[in-house]
Structure 1
């Protein structure tokens, strides 16, 4: 079978970015070719065969992109598949290429160096376009600077992308500084700063709003001692930039002198009002993808708004939030928010990562999301094909490189002694795999068996250092017993149906080479019916790894807690703790009933009460909403739905059981 050359894919990525400001067709063509390569790799299952495990964060970002397209399609369908709406959908539909792009770029193995080289080509193209324009005017600076420079395209689009490209290039320059590669570091910083300066010739006011936000994102990449000086420098740069912007200066003068905004802002405010009125008319569905255009045309015809609005602003509402609200209602607002804030949350959590490539990519990804958030205040960026395709390709490249770097960032060996503790009963199907996985990070393994009637204890003795058979006093007390037998500096507390994945093992060993916390939470990956769940109940990250000194377990019968001394730092790792919750549906029902009843007894022991059956019903419903919707359990398909219903049932049974415990029993009634 013929394989795609790895080097070709990064080349396409760089071509798309470098050619974006020369021609949007270059950007679109490179994106399409990369997507075709990704689709081919998906059908061949090339990444699966290499053992690639899909990060749940990428699945979440994928949801954000296709949800935006889905909402747009529904809006188009509800308005009757109009021509105007179809054009907008054609632009939005490009976002469904996100996953093929992720596959192609992950397959290529592109990392920080390749990503920042590609991003630097954006700045290089900005400079080339500017020099070409200057040469066309025979070097006449005054002619060039007396107009809003747009490099042959819309000045707003040029200015926004040039600013973002310049700041991303500076971020790459700082990465090469940290990598001790002075030549590329110097070149990137010079090219990046030059591109930022050129972007200001577009006289785009949103650039002046975005600039301080983008500059502030650079602060985590410099030493703490320099951050105050850096913040002062940012303030000086922003003030100087605004002072040298003729367009912004005139706007401020008009505002101070007459209390009025300039004409372009007046138009925008009027357009925003129209969009908001359209939203209020149909908040649940919006007016349709072409509804805003029809609304403006009707308002102009009726004389409700000036003719100039019809000449300039029929395509979109010059604001992402309001444009999506007007055309798609509340679902449109959600789709826009997901498209901006889900990537922002994925990248921003790694900004302070000690691994330099990861931290710099995280800053770059946060810049893109932040830039589009700010640009979207005065433009409908996702209704412009250049803006949307640029966002799609850059986000795919940065996300792919981020998780490639994260996998490469865990390489150190732990320097502390770790004891793994496991409690078990009738777990012969699980115990061997559990203990073998624990050995990846543990020097000592302790198993307490609560009187199993199968071969659990016998199998455990093949892998564990200490195996004891005891009575069953409840989860909390039993885990405390196991903890008291541990001798390691750190303790890993596992259940028999849990596994430490190789990726998590590398991460644990890496962190324990120089611990940056006193305890770590390990995110669950519930695995049932042949499917790994990434969301819903898997959204939880139980505390499992901690310094032994001063720690104990609560004495709860079920849902015990690890009691960490006050003041100790707790962090959450990325790697997944695989959790095989039950063998089959029958076992699920049995286990759920057991846990629900133990939970009822525990709450009753603590004096809790529920007086009506309304409360158990509401709690069950709230659990379903939390697991299935708030924690995105619906992304796990049919198994995710079944899991949400199961947990809702457990919650209902727990509080219903508590209600029965507060009722008089047959034995204490007065009977005739």
Structure 2
């Protein structure tokens, strides 16, 4: 079925991106059709049947888009579902299409080449728009240069999207060049640079603000020599752009002469001040999606605001932050921050990836996020249909392409020897699967058992190279014993309830062909009660893979640490380390109680004390807040809530146990006398 959907999906995506400046309807129609395709694929569960391992980063992006919509609905509801607010909410509601878009684009295996092809056609469309304008002006270039060129739409929208499209095309050109398609690379670089120049004809101030940041984002893609040259070239290009922008030059000259900003800046500062006052009066709710317009009109009518605001600023505050703060309060600010900075954080992690396609897609995604942050300084981008839809489709496309490319990028074979070490006790339900998965990356498997009474040792003999039965000195000492028996250059330290997934195995083998770090953290994928947890405390990445020389384990009774020599580099892999923490809720309670008490003993051994029961209570509450809210544990649903409560209980028990250790015990004779 993939081939059945692949070409139509590619065509729809490219057509939508390429036609964004020609007509916002082209982009909107493409987004809708792609979303419908995604819904069909979801209904048939085709993507999951194909073995798709849903990246948790995409779930986080999905949350960012949905949270923005939910806050928008809340803001519309508190004002009584006004008609004016309904129009704004209808625009924001497009973001609910994000996940169907991701499903469609992931199932079609959207790749870097296709994505950059769409960007290149978008940049090329600026030539057609410029040509049409020249024909309309009978070829008069002077007339065109002396006015703000908007390609038939709002000059701000045209300028911002054209500049972004030009730089995405430049990134595509560098990608094709590095992929040995040099002629195509030169063509894209030329088109991208020309589109960026055409974008400057809009004389949009935010373009000049964004330009240096866009240029700096290209630097990681350049060779070392070109990076040095770029540090000189970037200031020159920015100064030249400002000097050739008549609108900016006039404003700077006017400010120097009169010591006052021009009227456009003055109006914006006034409307920002009014928007801030609206927020200050209603910080937790804002004044509603339609309330901003009503407040501006009322201020003008009463003479408190300039009449000029009626013509320019009744729809929005010409700034994303102030506009959202005024209409939606603190929840709105948070939703806006998530919408910008969650994608930026996810994309920027891969800026220096060794994989060519991934690095270029990471730069492209960062361009979009940073671009919208900077464009939003002088324009309410998420209140304009074209801006909002372009952000939706471009982020979905880049994210889908990035994770598709990453999943197929692990192709090299391991050159380093690896020893896998596992400590066990009564793990007959887990040990076989654990050792089978370890063999995907290990040349040698070492099992240290501490007196199992079930079939653990018998099963382990079928898969392990070294098996020993020992006493139980605590987690840290036992893992150190296993480490001392390892002979490989690298060591993979696993627990019996953990599994190396096939994708993680491919990534480990790929990285150990030419390691770029001395140790690697492996992200957990805790699986419990039929659900895989991606967030909360389960979203951590424990250190599991490391260069053996000079490394040792701490001697902690529980929650031991791997002690890496100072100066060594540690990185985090993408693949998931599946972690089956317990069999059922009863086992969970048993295990939690054991770990809490061991934690109490460990802290007492280190001289820690708890003087009142207030401290355990506060630590338990803090753990719940951290796991469920700060670490996004709520995204894991009911199981995520149960897990957060469990972690909070363990924390409380650990410090409460420490408190009991320091309490004097009651002699038995005293009990008898009391009786």
- Map Cα deviations across residues 111-131 of structure 1 (whole Å, 9 max, x no partner): 111110011111011111011
In 1, are the aligned partners of 2:120 and 2:188 still within 8 Å (CA)?
yes
Counterparts of 1:181-260 in structure 2, within 5 Å, are 181-260=181-260
Asked if residue 581 in structure 1 is aligned to residue 584 in structure 2, the reply is no
Change (3 A) 1:567 1:667: farther
Counterparts of 1:143-542 in structure 2, within 5 Å, are 143-542=143-542
Q: Which SS does the other structure have where 2:308 is aligned?
A: helix
Deviation at residue 455 of structure 1 after TM alignment: 0.6
- Map Cα deviations across residues 638-669 of structure 1 (whole Å, 9 max, x no partner): 00000000000000000000000111112499
Deviation at residue 5 of structure 1 after TM alignment: 3.0
Cα distance in 2 between the residues matched to 1:628 and 1:360: 34
Q: Which SS does the other structure have where 2:261 is aligned?
A: coil
Deviation at residue 196 of structure 1 after TM alignment: 0.5
TM-score by length of 2: 0.98
Q: Which SS does the other structure have where 2:420 is aligned?
A: strand
Cα distance in 1 between the residues matched to 2:357 and 2:124: 22
Q: Which SS does the other structure have where 2:5 is aligned?
A: coil
Change (3 A) 1:2 1:320: closer
- Map Cα deviations across residues 457-476 of structure 1 (whole Å, 9 max, x no partner): 11111111111111111000
Cα distance in 1 between the residues matched to 2:122 and 2:661: 68
Deviation at residue 252 of structure 1 after TM alignment: 1.0
Cα distance in 2 between the residues matched to 1:87 and 1:299: 22
Counterparts of 1:612-651 in structure 2, within 5 Å, are 612-651=612-651
In 1, are the aligned partners of 2:206 and 2:378 still within 8 Å (CA)?
yes
Q: Which SS does the other structure have where 1:559 is aligned?
A: coil
Cα distance in 2 between the residues matched to 1:107 and 1:495: 34
Asked if residue 23 in structure 1 is aligned to residue 57 in structure 2, the reply is no
Cα distance in 2 between the residues matched to 1:425 and 1:127: 70
Residue 140 of structure 1 is matched in structure 2 by 140
In 1, are the aligned partners of 2:285 and 2:331 still within 8 Å (CA)?
yes
Cα distance in 2 between the residues matched to 1:242 and 1:288: 38
Deviation at residue 200 of structure 1 after TM alignment: 0.5
Asked if residue 57 in structure 1 is aligned to residue 57 in structure 2, the reply is yes
Residue 9 of structure 2 is matched in structure 1 by 9
Cα distance in 2 between the residues matched to 1:224 and 1:429: 53
Cα distance in 1 between the residues matched to 2:477 and 2:30: 61
- Map Cα deviations across residues 100-155 of structure 1 (whole Å, 9 max, x no partner): 11111111111111110011111011111011111121111011111100011000
Deviation at residue 225 of structure 1 after TM alignment: 3.0
Cα distance in 1 between the residues matched to 2:242 and 2:457: 73
Asked if residue 101 in structure 1 is aligned to residue 101 in structure 2, the reply is yes
In 1, are the aligned partners of 2:554 and 2:563 still within 8 Å (CA)?
yes
Q: Which SS does the other structure have where 1:448 is aligned?
A: strand
Q: What is the CA RMSD across the aligned residues, in angstroms?
A: 1.2
Deviation at residue 228 of structure 1 after TM alignment: 2.1
TM-score by length of 1: 0.99
In 2, are the aligned partners of 1:627 and 1:633 still within 8 Å (CA)?
yes
Q: Which SS does the other structure have where 1:445 is aligned?
A: strand
- Map Cα deviations across residues 258-304 of structure 1 (whole Å, 9 max, x no partner): 21111111000000001100001110011011111111011111110
Q: Which SS does the other structure have where 1:499 is aligned?
A: strand
In 1, are the aligned partners of 2:2 and 2:107 still within 8 Å (CA)?
no
Q: Unaligned stretches of 5+ in structure 2?
A: none
Residue 657 of structure 1 is matched in structure 2 by 657
- Map Cα deviations across residues 440-486 of structure 1 (whole Å, 9 max, x no partner): 00010011111111111111111111111111110000001111111
Q: 641-650 or 11-20: which moved more?
A: 11-20
- Map Cα deviations across residues 538-594 of structure 1 (whole Å, 9 max, x no partner): 221110001111111010000000011111111111111111000000000000000
Cα distance in 2 between the residues matched to 1:368 and 1:668: 72
Cα distance in 2 between the residues matched to 1:669 and 1:13: 82
Cα distance in 2 between the residues matched to 1:2 and 1:154: 39
Change (3 A) 1:348 1:309: same
In 2, are the aligned partners of 1:526 and 1:537 still within 8 Å (CA)?
no
Cα distance in 2 between the residues matched to 1:573 and 1:264: 49
In 2, are the aligned partners of 1:600 and 1:657 still within 8 Å (CA)?
yes
Residue 38 of structure 1 is matched in structure 2 by 38
Q: Which SS does the other structure have where 1:527 is aligned?
A: strand
Cα distance in 2 between the residues matched to 1:382 and 1:478: 56
Q: Unaligned stretches of 5+ in structure 1?
A: none
Deviation at residue 2 of structure 1 after TM alignment: 11
Q: Which SS does the other structure have where 1:526 is aligned?
A: strand
